[in-house]
Amino acid sequence: MRPSLSAIASIIRHMLCDGSLAITADTQFADLPGWDDMDLMRIVDEAECHFDVQFNLTEFDRLATVGDLLLAAVSKQVLAAA
């Protein structure tokens, strides 16, 4: 599946059990209600499975916003297709 903002937002809402979260590309993960670092690990793991990509530790450490995750996933898919 192609990475999209709506797909990532859906993953986040599902993983945080909150279907009402307003999520944009600028949403900071740390600003999400009840956020902790384990949530990011779970969300990234789910995104990796969903989009068939793998992030290394350096890439993981750079993920501060939803947009960061989206761009990283898109980049991984583009590189894999090349």
- Give CA–CA dist 73/40, Å, rounded: 14
Beta-carbon contacts of 20 under 8 Å, excluding residues fewer than 6 positions away, are 13
> Quick one: pLDDT at residue 79?
85
> Quick one: pLDDT at residue 62?
96
Question: Whole-prediction pTM value?
Answer: 0.93
> Quick one: pLDDT at residue 81?
82
| Residue 55 neighbours by CB distance under 10 Å | 18
Domain boundaries, the chain: 5-81
Q: Can you give the pLDDT of all 82 residues of the chain as single tens digits?
A: 899 999 999 999 999 999 999 999 999 999 999 899 899 999 999 999 999 999 999 999 999 999 999 999 999 998 888 7
Query: Six-digit token pair at 56?
Result: 């290394």
> Quick one: pLDDT at residue 39?
96
Q: Which fold has domain 5-81?
A: 1.10.1200
